[in-house]
Structure 1
Amino acid sequence: MTNVPQTMKAAIMKGIREITIETLPIPEIASDEVLIKVKAVGICGSDLHYYSNGRIGKYVVEKPMILGHECSGDIAAVGSDVKRFKVGDRVAVEPGVTCGHCEACKEGRYNLCPDVQFLATPPIDGAFVQYIKMRQDFVFSIPETLSYEEAALIEPFSVGIHAASRTKLQPGSTIAIMGMGPVGLMAVVAAKAYGASTIIVTDLEKLRLDAAKEMGATHVINIREKDPAEEIKKITNGKGVDVAWETAGNPKALQSALESVKRGGKLAIVGLPAQNEIPLNVPFIADNEVDIYGVFRYANTYPKGINFLSSGIADTTKLVTDKYSLEDTQEAMERALNHKDECLKVVVYPND
């Protein structure tokens, strides 16, 4: 290792809404791993859930842990078997390392691997650190034209790419996307990249709807003012959209998404609601032969995501509204948690 220190700073979640900065040893890498100097980490909704509630479903924070999984950086050291990278390479990090040999992995649906080790999902530590190690096959080179912030955004972007793949989104399609948080906004870019001609989005925050227009939405609906399903019917001449994605994890948004789909259309459930059971109109689903897809993370999306964003399809750097140092990680989390009407993507810079 050249120019790599012995220790590093880490932002450690000690309890609910309590993060302290501590010094840890630099991770030791195996022969098939790389050490990455972390340059940018985006704060995600799941980070906020762990920070404010200490759990998401069956995943419970039981000991001090490090949050953050949307990250990019520079290669600082390479294992003895690593041939794909050299020190200094700029990279995006896919945060879920899978086993590679279970049924799901062998089918190419490695997002369903039961043994995945996903950054910042208990008990695995995340990326609010100066250095992380990662198996080389989950690290991807990025061109000089792509910023570290954009490279970190490949992670939420991947969710939209995976939804597009699952719902077989075609050029010329009409699509409705409910919820314009960071995943929803990047889903707009994915829909555009896949050639959707009409991209209708809903949210209740003007800031997010304006950002959606910049990312490529053709129609925006403020659900404080209008009924989304009715508006979508008007926009589509009474037909409904080919595809709807619910990205907010909101029961009402899911019901609106279903209502907005045409006969024979497709619905993807991307956002995770707080409750397990939500009433849905089953006769509508059956009568209209609506295909419903669950979307869990993503698989085989990073090369596509890097190519799409490198093409300049949308200026996603505009989504980065707030920037913080590692020392101010707690402040960054509070900002993202409490000011959704003012900020889109909050980014932490561990080495600045």
Structure 2
Amino acid sequence: MRASVLVEPGRIEMEERVVPSPGPGDVLVKVASVGICGSDTHFYREGRIGDFVVDQPLVLGHESSGTIVAVGADVSADRIGQRVSIEPQRPDPASEESRRGLYHLCPHMQFFAAPPFDGALAEYVTIGSGFAHAIPEDMSDDAAALCEPLSVAIAANRKAGVTAGSRVLVAGAGPIGIATLQSALAFGATEVIVTDLDPVRREMATKFGATAVLDPREQDVAGLHVDAFIDASGAPSAVTAGIEAVRPAGTVVLVGMGADEMTLPVHIIQHRELLLTGVFRYANTWQAAISLERSGRVDLDSMVTKRFPLAEAEQALNADRIPGSLKAVVRVQE
């Protein structure tokens, strides 16, 4: 099979590799679509994210969909031919975190494209059967792949306690910010304010339903008095401003990848008794993601602004530098 391989920071090569065999409990998926995530671009350009360091050739990509073409032992052959959205996680079912239902925090996690584990920018991948989620026939391959970033957004809104009538502030109108915006509205928020430095992305946020969009350089958010603030930017200045915008006893959720360390307004967090937490991955989100997309409350297909064949994966990894680009997708079989 063909695989797009990060051989060193800034260099991608196409390789021929052996098609993997599904082990017990696994399925073999012929990959259709792979979304390009900010973490992929970080690994591609810098070779690391925090403690995750690329020190050997790595296949990127963890937002993926495809069709089951073979199954391992203990998996029904009825699954062959099923179109699926891949939840790119292999937790240890015996770990304490997994047994508590927090399998996404398993310390022994094997996660697609998190070094040293290969991801989905290849023609075939294997995954545990329970993490290959069947999708409706009318769901596109691209939308099925983007159930992964939508799952991040669902996890963030759950942690933020977003519900009917909530007022929410989202910093950053990239793919995660737009997915978070859509999810918040689907959860019942009646006001979702989005901030971003880029006027094109602010316009996109309006298109996807934001009740207001702000340029944080020109408009102060401190007095918004929102119920929840979700940061999808990773920018220290956005995090500080967002915390100042939250009402007493509100919630702050950090999602964006930014600085390893930042200074926070502790007096505000303490005096307002704010709940400050983070989102790393997700657990038990896929059926909600599929349902939200199928119901039309979330539009994943419209988030895709660029498509590339597998041979042009490197161009896809640089698509975020194209003005007006929101989400690039690699169509593996094209």
The normalised TM-score by structure 1 is 0.92
2:15 is matched with 22
Instruction: Report if the CA contact (8 A) 1:119-1:127 is conserved.
Output: yes
Question: What's the offset of the Cα at 1:206?
Answer: 2.1
Kindly tell me the number of residue pairs found equivalent between the two proteins. Answer: 334
Partner AA of 1:46 in structure 2: S
Residue identity opposite 1:283 in structure 2: H
The answer (yes or no) to whether the contact 1:78–1:85 under 8 Å persists in 2 is no
Distance in 1 (alpha carbons) for counterparts of 2:254 and 2:299:
26
Aligned-residue offset at 1:64: 0.8
Aligned-partner Cα distance in 2 for 1:333–1:258: 32
User: Does 2:113 match 1:120?
Assistant: yes
- 1:84 Cα deviation (Å)? 8.1
State the partner residue of 1:157: 150
User: 1:166 Cα deviation (Å)?
Assistant: 1.5
The partner residue of 2:173 within 146, 156, 180 is 180
Corresponding residue number in structure 2 for 1:207: 200
Letter in 1 for 2:325: C
Equivalent residue for 2:237? 252
> Which residue of the other structure, out of 214, 236, 248, is the alignment partner of 1:263?
248
Root mean square deviation, CA, Å: 1.3
Structure 1 CA distance for aligned equivalents of residues 73 and 89 of structure 2: 22
Say whether residues 1:286 and 2:273 are aligned partners: no
2:219 is aligned with 1:241: no
SS in 2 for 1:25: coil
Does 2:322 correspond to 1:348?
no
8 Å Cα contact 1:161-1:187 kept in structure 2: yes
For the Cα contact (< 8 Å) 2:183–2:298, is it kept in 1?
no
Q: Distance in 2 between matches of 1:212 and 1:203?
A: 9
SS of the counterpart of 1:52?
helix
Uncovered stretches (5+) of structure 1, i.e. residues with no partner: 1-7, 234-239
Task: Please give the residue correspondences for 1:1-352 in structure 2 after superposition, counting only pairs within 5 Å.
Answer: 8-83=1-76, 86-230=79-223, 233=224, 240-274=225-259, 276-336=260-320, 338-339=321-322, 341-352=323-334
Identity of aligned residues (%): 40
Partner SS, residue 249 of structure 2: strand
Map Cα deviations across residues 181-213 of structure 1 (whole Å, 9 max, x no partner). Answer: 111110111101111110111101122222222
SS of 2:59 mapped into structure 1: coil
Report the secondary structure of 1:329's partner residue: helix
Q: CA deviation at 1:272?
A: 2.4
Structure 1 residue 154 displacement after superposition = 0.8
Q: Distance in 2 between matches of 1:185 and 1:47?
A: 18
| Greater Cα offset, 245-254 or 216-225 | 216-225
1:14-35 alpha-carbon deviations (Å, 9 max, x no partner): 1111001111110011121111
SS state at 1:111 partner: helix
Unaligned runs of 5+ in 2: none
The 8 Å contact of residues 180 and 208 in structure 1, kept in 2 or not, is answered as yes
Per-residue deviation, residues 30-72 of structure 1 (Å, max 9, x unmatched): 1211110111000000000000000011111011110000000
TM-aligned CA deviation for residue 85 of structure 1: 5.0
Residue 101 of structure 1: SS of its match in structure 2?
coil
The DSSP-based 3-state class of the residue aligned with 2:81 is coil
What TM-score comes out, normalization by structure 2 length?
Answer: 0.97
For the structure 1 residues 85 and 261, does the alpha-carbon distance in structure 2 shift closer, same or farther, using more than 3 Å as the test? Answer: farther
| Secondary structure of 2:168 counterpart | strand
Letter in 1 for 2:7: K
